[in-house]
Each structure stands twice: as structure tokens, then as C-alpha cells.
Structure 1
């Protein structure tokens, strides 16, 4: 059953101070229903030895051998979260050497036969539903209600947790509605609204969890629904998420003295406090770096988006967003087709994601748009381009753009994108920023990821909220 706490338990183990000191190497990968072996190998290598250009061009067998050599002789802990099939385990198990030195591989899965396939004759830990006492204690702690106030709310609390049927995720999400609010009338209202269905299937569980969306303030609803744009179990960089929210017009100042970025961060913290968004990684200063949502909550995002026509194509989103054809001959022009039938579109916007073609080089790219020019957000950084696609200049309403070049510079005419707020570009070698880029009066964030040579700013202004240039 989803939401029983498998990933939560694995996370507590993974981050335990004794575990951290005992294992020389730790790596965490999430597989989910749709996976690609190459992505899994690269994710593990990224945390074990790091990723270089030489590693990126290796085939799957070479990557597996490199990972095996990196782990051999070292005591390691590999967490494989949310594995759905025995085949997925068979694809990667050869990468883990058995040196009898205390190394461990920890799996979380919804299927007992997958666990037994990984270790025949083993005794996998099957998580149970919480008892009424455990459920009530979890509700109190997550709702941040002191024992003194909770005493006279306990009868209502028992009514609520009975309808959650011991599912930790449901209890935590409902607690987000009750957090810091000991008003008896509000608790009664929530108790009456919680689905009374017996939780025997995920669909019935979703009807309980959807209550949190129904009680979201209007300004948070589009922000929450936007999480459906990202792949299942995908860790989302907070900086990118905030820029996309601003680009889509989800953030409103409403007379405050804060800037849009600060308001967007407040929105995110509100969603986190409601237990709708999970914090994945934090920086040394305590700031949130990445976040994600539970796959059941993502299902709610997709169903609600379709229900209210927030996005007519969000439910069609998948990792195979790109339809590409290319040839090694320079005379053949490659085509990159982006259509609303295959690419997530949040009207009037478009956001693209693909990992399958992340290391494909396109020497001459023709982008075929089967959608409106009213696109606001576009991320094609998973493809390494040789030139800046002229077709992008037609998207005059573009507010967020992320690109990756093998070499080359953005053209002078990029300043025609007057509405652009966030521009993220990366290149293997030195990149020259054209002078007239500073005429883009809406530009708020400029991030340049340069190669071995420093970025050459032919002109420099300090009008932006943020200017970043990074050496890879």
C-alpha cells in the first residue's frame, strides 16, 4: 500500500548518524514504474565517483563495470526506493560486489514477490497499518497541538483517524489541515469532510487525500497542481520551481513589500507545512534545495488538473516527450518535434522534460511546434544543441527558458524575447553574452553554466534579482 511509510523509514535509516559513519559509500536511487537503466547507473555513479564527460559517453555495460569497480573493497549502502519489478533488480544487481564486508542494499517496494526475488528465502519487513493509539499520537504530533488542548479534541481526533484507517500518509495530510488550529468547530468540520470509505485501494485513499486540495487557498492551488508537470518521484530544484511559478503568473504580491521570489518561497513553505510537499535536500544554511510530492498526491494533481481544465494535456505527460530523428551526416537536418499530444502544456505554457536523449548531439535542429506561440515556459536542457534554435525567437511570450549548448553563444536577437524573466544557459566552452541582452527589461534571473573558460560578459548590469555563472 502506498503511504505506509516505506520511504520514510528508509530515509531515517539512511540519514542515521551511525549509518553515515559506518558506511564509506552511500547512494540513494528511486526507480518507480517507468525507469531507464542508464539513468539509474548514472545516478549511482554521481554519488559514488562523480560524472564527467567521459563517463557520459559510456554505454550501459561500461557504466555498470565502472560502478562495480568503484564499489569493490568499500563498505557501501545502496538504497533502491520504490522498485516495481524483478526485472529492474536484475538490471542493476550485477553492479554490487559482495565482499563480505558488511555492505548492504536496501529495497522498498509495494510487492513482496519483488523483495523475495532480490533475496530468496529472506524475511522482508512488511509495514502494517497504524493502531488507533499510534494514529492518534501521529495526528497530535503532526498537527502541533499541545496535550492540554488535545485532551478535549481527542474524541474528534479519534473520529478523524478512524476514517484514515491507519494509513500514515492520510493522517499526516489531514493533520496538515489541523496544524496549529485547536478550534473545535474546525476539527468537527474536518471530521465531517474526511472520506468514510474503507481504504482498501489507492483510488479510495486518493478520495481521502484530495480533501487537502479542497481546503487549499485559491492562490496555492495552481502551485500545487504544477507538481504534476514533473515525473513521478522526481526531485525538483526549488530555485527552478520558483522561477516557473513566477513565469506562469502563479505568484502575486497583493500589496506586500516582498519580492516575487520571497512570496513564492512562502507559498512553498505553506505547502510543506500542510504535508503536501516533502523536503528532499537542504543546504548547509538550512535552506531547501530540492523537494517532491508523494506519487498519490501527484495523481491528485493530475486528476484535479484534468477536472478543472488547468491543463488539458497534463495527464498525457511522460518521459518520452521528444520525438527526434537525427543522422550522423551533416547534410541531414535533425528534427525535434514538440507537440501538445506528447509534451506537458499548462496553458498558455509549455514545459518539456526528457532524460532518454540527454546526451544526444544535434548539429542542425529544426523544432516543429504543434502548439500555440503563447508558450511561457520551456526547458530543453536535456538536449545538447550546437546552435541557438531560431524557432525559439517566435515565442515572444516566453518567460522561462533553459538551454544547453555544446558550444556557441546566444544570438544578439535573443533580446527580442522581451517577456523573458529567467534564462538558464550552459555550454562546454566560453560563452559570450551579447550586449543587448541587458535591454530585456523583464529579465530577473540569468544563470550561465560555463565550461573550462570563464564566462565573458561583454557588458554588465546589476539590475537583476540574480546573476549566476558556474564552472562545471
Structure 2
């Protein structure tokens, strides 16, 4: 009545099964277990089940297709299968078997066999060559074991099959050491590969995650890290054999535990706990006995220029690890969580105070944070991970706890001195920097502003000029402020450069002194609390023009404009800002003026005047001069910088061509000025937006950037981005990104250069194959410590081959293992591209990559 049965699990106390089982002619899967733990004999009917595809048998002393040839010898017997055929069998698992001889014609008996699991098989002879499907692996096993044991046959083997091929752990000597200590390297390699294959098997086959499977991953990762570092001369030589033997014992226990879990055996939980205890004991012994010396992190050198950026990226990365189910993270997830929680607490204190007020303490915070990141990445990447695991990471966790305690004691949480997103440093700005500036272009804009100032409503109005750094906002405001028609139109005029000053009373004193004149000037050291009232009284009854230059936040704007009386006199305020939101906040009647870039003819006029003054450019230089002007992108600041460069050169075409062909290099010579201009806007961005801006450097200059793709880019880097539109809006509002329509934006070359400098300086990105860029040819080991690498293929400039450090695990720089992102743009990948060693890689972007014409197989595997 069960002739259609396909799956059968048998638990029995009988020594043999009834012949009636032979009627199950459609049986495909058979699992057999003997409850008493003794051996069970398989009767001849078993061999008639020709549709069997999956057989799992435990506790069989005699596996006998023909009862007539069965022989008993101290509980062992013969297994003769030479005349038996399983034409459908793909998977055979044998456990706890005891046979004296195994005879089988595998090509005939198991023509479809793909997987063979043999666990604790006791035999005096196994002919490994009988399985041609597994021929390569079996020959390696036979050769290896014979080499290790000095015998010409397998004696006792512990074998587990994962995927295609056998993995074996040979029998150890009676004293628990390796049978041949001189063979440590190959023996260790065998153990390591076995563990790695087991881990991959668990991941690929999606083994149900439980506390036990999680602990198995912990055990595997710990043992693999030991085995990888054993050949690196960090273990005391006289104790190496003992350590390898202990690792072997734990490895066997891991395999047994895994097999028990697969079969839902009750004793698995107890073994699980015992194994965890054994691993903790081994950790202590490694620390106190086996390892030669403690690791030293004092030689590490980390970038320290932008601590808040690093902390933002680190905490984001740690959060990803805590939320990850990756097998590699399980070993140190507890430590990662502790580091994340402590650093979040520390960072919250420094969100309320200026890092400059506690510079030494902030530096120590960054030191231990960098140490923690390096230790965690080294362990996860299996890059000298043993010393990091045993020494550095535990020490760093304790250091962070001590620093946290000190921060909590020294910095009151309620201090609230500095607002969020305040710049790291005050940047002094010369308020007279516009005097003597060459002013070109913006005639239409100038007339528009003058009309707004001299006409329109009688109520007070705010005329805002918004634009990116270096575009000429202050220059334009200064031109209007000094126009004769404006000077005669207003009774009182005052100019106040706000910049980074956060003391509103001090700013009001500056305005007040200009209003009252030189005779009654008030010292900034004698600021009265009622300076706002005094200013209001002086302005009452007068038509006034106040310029608030370089305004950064709405709160300061409100404080400064509060004393301005709202009389119907036609008074005006000119506001310049890089931030769109500030301009919109201050709007009364007039819309903000969004300043454009200079047109080509205006750019050339400005450059010509900067170089030749009132004279004209010679005809032989005009063509190359216009090309230089075009490459400056219409930004007055860049035109002014380049004009200064070529004005100091001889007026020769060859020298000007040198500037044209190396324009970026000449701009970068004044890198401090370049960075300073953009840095102010960057400092005022929200913490989570800063890395989003920097990563725009991966786009080529003048590239249209689709907003819809930015979220994928940022999320791939692990940034916490809920809405790409909100981030882009903040970047546009800060005049760092130029919008074209609702779907496309760009960044100016100057901003791109800033992002490029910043990304390299902070070790966020390393660029290879980028021609005519500063430091583009460098590929030193320190450069390759970057979190990401962008490879841009250009013919005759950069070629990829399998020996390249990223693609060849044998020739890799150790810090390449720490890569979080890799982008290869165009070109052709080498035929043998190995990325498996990049265990921390989060983002892989292969755009426009050509595959070899001779490609036959392509394997892309993700976990």
C-alpha cells in the first residue's frame, strides 16, 4: 500500500529490516538510524531499490549486497558492491561504519554520484580511486595521508564531504600531536581549507540560523584565523605541534557537531557549550603561552584632519556589522557592538562642544577609534587577525571605556556651547578682500539689484545673492554697495562680514560703529547688553542699507535683523550666502538672486585683465588664453588663481600651453586656498551629508549625475540615506551641487577637485588611471589603505593584468584586504581576476567592462 512512498526515515531496534521494504520500488530518499546505537545489517533486498537518489545510513557494521560473501572479523565485515548498480544515486552519506574491506566498482555502481560524505569510517583498506567523479580529491587525500603517516594505505580517517571532493583529517599520534611535525604547512592548509569549505557549505545551502549554527560560525572563524597566521612565525616554535594538534581536535569537534545538528541529535547543545569553553581556553593559552609577543599598534599612522567625518563613517560601518548576519562577523560581534555603543556616547558629547576646547581628549578619541577600526577590519579580513583578536581588540575596547569615562567626567552634557555642524576651525577672512578686485560681468544682475534697492515697496526688503563659493557674491555686492546711485540714495550704509563669527553682539557692534561714525566708535571689548536697542534708535527715521555678507545660518540672521526698524522708508538689506535656505528664510518681498557662472567671453575678459591689466593680449596668445579661460569653468575664483599664475610667467605661448595642459596641477599648487574656499561650505553640511558629497569625486569632471542613481551609490557605501532627494537638496542649498532639472545635477570642477583632495587625504578613495591629476600615479602601500579604489582604464596610461595588486591575492598589498568598495570603469578585466580575498568589500561596480572573447565559464557568487 506504500508503493508510491518516496521519502522514508527509519528508527529501529531490529538488527535487520523486513524483506517487505523491498516493495517500496519508488523510494528515492532513505535515512536509517539504529536506536540502540549498535550495528544494523542491510539485507539483499536493499540493492533492488533502484530509484534511490539520497541514502543516509548510520551504525552499520556490515553493508552487504550478498549475504553469502559476508564475513565477520571482530565486529567488522566486508562490503562488496561490485555487482550492484544505483543508477540514480547522487548523494551517499555513511557514518560510523566498521568494515574490513570495501570493494566497489564506482563507475558501475554509482554512475551519477556527486556527493559522498564519509564520517568516522574504520577500515583497513579503502581504494580511493574507485570514485572517478572524485578522482582528483581522492588522489590528493591518499598521497597526503601516506606522506603524513608513512604508510601505504589509509588506516583511520575522519572524512567529511562538502560540495565536490573529499576533505580528510588524518589520524593523530597517541600523544595528540601531528604524525609528522615537518609537514605542518600542508597539514595546516588542509585543516584550514576544510573549515572554509564547511563554512561556505553552510552559507550556500542556507543552513537554518540558530544559536548552535551561529556558534559553529564563531568556532570556524576563530580556528581559520589561527591556521592562516600559523605560518607567519608568531607562534613559539617549541609549542607549534601542540597548538596544531589542539586546533585539529577542535576542528574535528566542529565537524561532528555540525553533522549532529544536521541530524537534529539531542547531544548537540551540550557539545556546543563544551566547544565554546574549549575555544575560550585556547584564547587564554594563545595569549599567555603560544604567541611569541604582544602586537603593537603604535606604528600605525592614521589621517586625523577630519575627525567628525571619520567618526560618521566608522559608526555607520559598525552599525552595518552589528546588523549583519555574515558568518565572518559572528566571532567579534559582541566586541563590535560594545565599541559602537561607547563611541556613540562619546560622539554625543562632542556634538555639543567645540573639539578645539578639548583638543587633546578629542585626539585620543580619534586614536582609539582608528585602532578599533583597524583591529576589526584586520580580523574580519583575516589579515594578521590572530594578534589583533588576542591582543589589540580587547585592549582597544578597554581603552575606549576609559576614554568614555574621562569624557563623561570632563565635558558636561548640558554645556551646549557649539551648535551642531559648526565648522571645525574658524577661518579668518579679510573684510577688505574685495577692494581692488577686478570686476567683470554681471551687468544685468547689477542693474537688477540696484532697481530692487532704489525702487519697490516702502517696507524693508531683503535682497539675497546666493551662489557657490568663489562665484563672486561678495564682489557683486561690493560693486552695488559702492555704486554712486546707492551711496546717494541711502542715509546710512553699513557692511558686516558675518562669516564664522557666532557672537551676534560683536557683529551688532560692527554695524553700530559704522552707523554712528568714527567719532563715537565703540570698542568691541566694551560690548553693552543693550547694543541692539542703541542700534535700533540710531536707525530710526533713516533710510538705511545694511550688507550682511557671507551669512551661514538662519538663527544668526534673525538675531542681526531683529534691531532693524521696519519703517516705511524704503530701507534695504543685502544678504550674501552659499545656502539657499538662509536666503529663503530672510525673504520679504524679493526673490533671491541665484548667481550664474561667467560666460566664456566674460571669463576671458577677467583673465585678460588679471594678466595684462588695461593692455590687450597679444594675438599669438589669445587662442591659448581663451582655452585656459574655458577650462576654468566660469568661476571667478579659479580665473583669478590661474591669472595670478600666468601673470608671473613670461608671455610665451609654450609656457601658456604648459598651464593649459596642466591646469589642475597649477590650481592644486594653491591647494590651501582652494580647500579653504570649499571647506566652509563643507563644514556646514549635516554629518551624514558630508561623505555623500566627497564620494561624488568618483564621477568624471563635467559629468551629468542622475539623482536617481545617487541613492544606490550612497547606500552601497553604507551611508544612512533615507532620501537621495533630501541630500541633493541640502547640497544644492549649500551651492555645492548645480541643479539642471529634477533628474540631473552636476558639480563644478572646483568642488570636484575639493572632493578629490578630501577623499585622498582622508583615505576614503584612491584613484588609479586618472591622467593629469595630482598624485595620480602614486600607488604606494599607504595609498592603498583607502576604503575604496576607483580604477579608470585609459589606453596607454593604465593597464590591468592578473598581477595587479587588487586582483592577485598572492601579490596583494595587505591593506587591500580592507577595501570596502571597488569601482572599475571601462577597460578589460584580466582573465584571472580574484576578489575573494576582499572580504570586507561592500560595493563592486564594473561599468563598461569588456570580457575576454575566449570566456567559457563565468562564476559570480555573492554571500
Tell me which interval the TM-score lies in, with the shorter structure as reference length: 0.3 to 0.5
User: Normalized against structure 1, the TM-score is what?
Assistant: 0.41
Q: Which has the larger radius of gyration?
A: 2
Higher helix share: 2
Higher strand share: 1
User: Normalized against structure 2, the TM-score is what?
Assistant: 0.23
Which of structures 1 and 2 has the larger relative contact order (alpha carbons within 8 angstroms, sep 6+)?
1
